[in-house]
Amino acid sequence: MAKEKPTILVVNDDGITAPGIKVLLEEMQKLGNVVVVAPDAPQSGMGHAITIGKPLRLDKIDLYEGVEMYKCSGTPVDCVKLAVDRIFKDKKPDLCVSGINHGLNYSINVLYSGTMSAAVEGAIEGIPSIGFSLDDFSHNADFTHTRPYVLSIAEQVLNNGLPKGTLLNVNFPHIEKGIVGIKICRQANGNWIEEFEYRVDPHHRDYFWMTGRYDWVDRGEDTDVFAINNGYASVVPTQFDMTAHHAIPELNSWSFDVK
């Protein structure tokens, strides 16, 4: 008896018309039955935000021939939640892939990224999940070199599953650098140094634009930043248990003086 084709949920944070999600859904069509649920507008930097104070729209659209697609008014995480409850209903998809993001989501960016948060939400739902991102912010980013890697990594996850409570954060170098191989990594320590740009609007009121630079403090050769800088596709197994288990004994030694 032939094995049933897997069902694959495709999401992103750049919005349903972004070129990156088209590349991702095309590769996933080689592996299974694809359902796309993506924001109707860009949602970069939305992190793990959910929409609780206002209602959500979910509308079926025909963007690419033969692909089941829905646009959603909410965040990337909303897309996954709506897909699981209202589209897949009783049967969860076999795989959830998010991206391919226009821009890197390595190091601390895993927290700010809507792309990664959608994949995290997939994993919370118990679905094997992967977030893909490319080192190219432009709308016309060239994803050609990522295609065989996206396919291979997704295939491995479908075949092997993922350790309980984990997902994958995959980043690719820019096409001009090419890809020399895959490196399993840890998330590099690093953070953004904010430099808000001050302006005055035509009504004489102050405002600020968020800008900043990434401070690469962690030069470890086992990090995702090192991998990308050296031409590798970085794969970081990522978890949503945020407990700092190693800190529990120290905290237990504190004495709280509650009056």
Distance CA 170, CA 88 (A): 25
Is 218 assigned to a binding site? no
Nearest to residue 120, comparing CAs of 160, 166, 89, 152? 166
Instruction: Give how far Cα 180 sits from Cα of 144, 229, 253, 259, Å.
Output: 14, 11, 48, 61
Length of the chain: 259
Q: How far is the CB of 122 from its own copies (least distance, A)?
A: 11
**117 known ligand binder:** no
Work out whether 28 is an interface residue with its own copies (CB under 8 A). Answer: no
Tokens of 66: 């033969």
CB-based contact 148:154 (threshold 8 Å): no
Q: Would you say 59 is a known binding-site residue?
A: no
Position 142 contacts its own copies (CB under 8 A): no
Q: In the complex with its own copies, which residue's Cβ is closer, 140 or 160?
A: 160
Please identify which residue in 153, 170, 227, 228 interacts with its own copies, judged by CB under 8 A: 153
Q: If DSSP codes are grouped into helix, strand and coil, which group holds residue 239?
A: strand
> In the complex, what is the shortest distance from the CB of residue 49 to its own copies, in angstroms, rounded to a whole number?
4
- Compute how many residues bind its own copies; rule: CB under 8 A: 86
Segment 58-77, which members bind its own copies (CB under 8 A)?
58-59, 75, 77
Does position 120 interact with its own copies (CB under 8 A)? The reply is yes
Query: CB under 8 A: which stretch of 4-12, 91-99, 118-126, 132-140 binds its own copies?
Result: 118-126
**Which of these, 23, 161, 29, 150, lies nearest to 95 by C-alpha position?**
161
Among 140, 203, 221, 252, binds its own copies (CB under 8 A): 252
